[in-house]
Amino acid sequence: ASLEDLGSAGRVVISKDDTTVVEGAGKKADIEARVAQIRAEIENSTSDYDREKL
């Protein structure tokens, strides 16, 4: 992985429990695909710990 893989954003807000990307420069279709992938992983996980982390 390289820095180019990280992309860019206008602002990133990080707290103990959350990370919020504001004005991200990602493509909407790519973001929606990643969200769908994470949701599928949550549904297929048998571990409460994994579900919480996802």
Q: Which two tokens stand for residue 10?
A: 């206008």
7 backbone φψ class: left, alpha, beta (φ>0; ψ -120 to 50): left
pLDDT tens profile 3-53: 888 889 999 999 999 999 999 988 899 999 999 999 999 999 999 999 888
pLDDT at position 53 is: 87
- The number of distinct structural domains making up the chain is 1
Task: Give CA–CA dist 51/45, Å, rounded.
Answer: 6
Q: Which domain holds residue 31?
A: 3-53
> Across-strand partners of 36?
none
